[in-house]
Amino acid sequence: METKGKTKFLSVWHNVKYSWALKPKTSFSRNSPVLLLGKCYHFKAEEDEGQTEACREASDEEGVMGNVEDFRRDFGSRIWLTYREEFPPLPGSSLTSDCGWGCMLRAGQMMLAQALLLHFLGRDWTWSGAMSLQPLDTETWTTSAAKRLVASLESSLQASPGPSDPVVSQRQVAGSGEEAGVHTDGGFHRTLVSWFGDSPSAQFGLHSMVRLGLAMGKRAGEWYGPAVVAHILKKAVEEARDPCLAGISSYVSQDCTVYSADVIDSHKASAAAERPDVTSSSHNSQPASASPDSRAVIILVPVRLGGEKTNPDYFNLAKSFLSLDYCIGIIGGKPKQACYFVGFQDDSLIYMDPHYCQSFVDVSTSDFPLQSFHCPSPKKMPFTKMDPSCTFGFYSRSAQDFERIKHELTELLQPSAKEKYPAFIFVQGHGRDYDLSASLSPEKREWPFIRDPRRSGSTVGDFVLL
C-alpha cells in the first residue's frame, strides 16, 4: 500500500514539474547565423552582404541559406523523445514512468534517431507535418496537464484508479486525423518512430535501453551518464532484429581514442547482413557510396571537456562539429540534467529538451499520432552552462566516407595555442594492438567507465579522475 501511494504521489508531482508549466519562448538573433546539424540558416528579412564566415563555410558545397520557416521545418522534423508515463513496467522494476531520471537515455535515443534519419532518409528530408506542430505553451497543453493533475489527486484521495484523460485522448485522436492527410512521405518515418516506442518489443525503446543497462549495473530510476548511454546505444544497434537495420552498426571510442581499424571493421559486413533497399535516391540527399557488402557506422565518442566546468577552449570545437552534416549531435547537458544538442547561435547551444512529461503512445497501431514525437520549440543554453561530460556522435556511410571524416575531424581537433590536449584523437590500428586493458576483465574492457565499488578513486560523471 505504501508503494502504491508513493507511485501516485510521484505521478502527481511529475505532472506538476514536467507538464504544468509555461515555458518562455526562445529568442533568436537576426544578426547571426543559426547552425542546425550542418545546415545554416539566417533569420534576416533580406539576404545581407555581410554574411558571416560560419554560414559561408557551411554553404561551400550547396546553398543552405534559409529563413525562419526553413529552420522551423528542419528542426520540427527531428525526432523528439521525452519523458513518458503510464507505459508497461520497465525491466527489473515496477516503474511506469522515466520522469526525473531517464533524460540521458532519451537524449541518446534522439541522437540514434537522427543517425537513422540520415541513414534511411538523408539530411535534406523533412516531415510534412513539421509546420503544423502546436507550441507547448498553448492552452491545449496546459489545460490537459491541469486536468490530469486534478484527476490524479482525486484518484489518490479515493485510493482508486483515476479516470482516463479525455482531453489527452481527444488530442491524440485529433492528431491522427490531421496527420492522415500529410503523411504521404511518412511511411518509413512512422516505422522509424515506432522503433523508439515505450514498449518491451520496440527495438530502441526505453525498455530495451533499461534492459541493456542492467547488464552494466544500471537500474531503472538511476542516473545514466553520456558514456554509459553510448555503450547502451551500441549494444542496442548490435541486437536490433529488424532486417532493415542489418546495414548499420555502431562504434564507441576507447579512452577518447578512435581506433581507425576498428571502425573499418565495423563497416564490413557479410552478404547475409545486407540491408534491404528501403532508401530511394529521391529520399537520400547523399548518394549511397557504400558497396553492397558494407555497413554504415554510428561513431560515438564519450569525452570530458574540462574538470568541474567545460573548458571554454573547447566551445569552438563543439561549434565546428555541429556545423558538419554528418554530425548527429551531442548528448550532454547541465549537471544531472541531460539534453540533446543539435546546433548553436553565437555563444548559445540549441537543444531538444526531454524534460517534458507526455502520456504513453501505443506505437503498435498503424495510425498512432506522430505529433508528440516532434518538438515545436527549440531551446537555447549558454555554452558556459554545458556539463563537461558529453558524447559526440557522427555518422559514417562507408569506409571511404570514414577516411574523409577522419581527415576532417583530425584537422578540427588540432590543439590551439591555448589547448594542451585534443578532445579526442584518431589512431591507426585496432584498440587491442595497444593492449591497454590486458589485465582487465572482459566487462571492464568493454565498459571501463563502470566504477569498481572496491576502489576508492573519486569519479566525476562517467570518468575516473587519476
Just list the catalytic residues: 103, 353, 355
Q: For residue 68, what are the CA distances in angstroms to 40, 89, 170?
A: 11, 41, 31
Using the 8-state DSSP alphabet, how is residue 252 labeled?
E
**Which H or E element spans position 194?**
helix 187-194
Using the 8-state DSSP alphabet, how is residue 291 labeled?
-
Q: For residue 441, what are the CA distances in angstroms to 203, 208, 437, 452?
A: 29, 25, 8, 12
Would strands 337-345 and 348-352 be described as parallel, antiparallel, or unpaired? antiparallel
- Residue 110, classified by CB atoms within 10 Å of its CB into exposed (0-12), middle (13-18) or buried (19+), is buried
- The C-alpha cell at 209 is 535501453
Ramachandran class of 393: left when φ > 0, alpha when ψ lies in -120 to 50, beta otherwise: beta
H runs (alpha helix) in 195-311: 206-214, 226-239, 260-267
Which residues lie below 8 Å from residue 458, measured CB to CB, with a gap of 6+? 464, 465
